[in-house]
Structure 1
């Protein structure tokens, strides 16, 4: 077990998916601080506030693709312009079955991979164990 609190940011406009992820987080046994935002713009604003106030940057960010205001791809591009120097693991978490979405994920060096919804406890546990703090 990691003995450091993990900061998780979930960007998804589906309240049911957020609820499911919260329940999975509770069951992992890890000390996880989860924040959720319903679109990419809210997440960018959140991260700018975190940076401005010298608060802990999320270790792990899970990003849905299809959201209002700013979608997942737009978030990843806007994220690149933030001055974040810490290592952050970004993953696309989507119900998309389109091969071009999976391939597009590979075109972003900041994104570690594509995860199909729903997120499982086993997969979240793997992601957390892979975090290097």
Structure 2
């Protein structure tokens, strides 16, 4: 099995930098980051049948300009993708309404308050390698 393809969708450059450093330390070599959710949605739509070009896991920021994380998920649900893509929601929000709303999306496999700890990231990536 090849390395998982990881997408980071986050408008915060510092968060993306930290995530990429942690992922590199965990030997993740295929990482793509996006400053908002428009381009990844277009790629998902265009590549929906290209199994190897689709991400295995998406780290998705909740609060972003243009389309927030929940808006992204609503659009994501309309794309016919045959591949299981795990989505990990990352946010600086401790708002219980956000957490409850996140639980309504079956695509979200985990929800973390930023910054994500390296141990949590290691657990997520380890689980990803086993699938």
TM score, norm. by length of structure 2: 0.90
Name the TM-score, length of structure 1 as normaliser: 0.89
- Aligned partner of 1:57 in structure 2 is 54
8 Å Cα contact 1:4-1:31 kept in structure 2: no
- Cα distance in 2 between the residues matched to 1:93 and 1:24: 15
| Residues 60 and 90, structure 1, Cα contact 8 Å, conserved in 2 | yes
Name 1:75's counterpart in structure 2: 72
Q: Deviations over 1:20-66 (max 9, x none)?
A: 111111111x3431111111212201222333656421111111111
**CA distance in structure 1 between the partners assigned to 2:40 and 2:7 by the alignment:** 8
Coordinate RMSD, CA, aligned: 1.6
SS at match of 1:83: coil
Aligned residues of 2:48 and 2:82 also touching (Cα < 8 A): no
Counterparts of 2:23 and 2:110, CA distance in 1? 19
Q: Match of 1:120?
A: 117
**What's the counterpart of residue 100 of structure 2?**
103
Bigger drift between 47-56 and 58-67 goes to 47-56
Shift of 1:8: 0.5
Matched length: 130
Equivalents in 1 of 2:103, 2:50: separation in Å? 32
Contact persistence 1:92–1:114 (CA under 8 A): yes
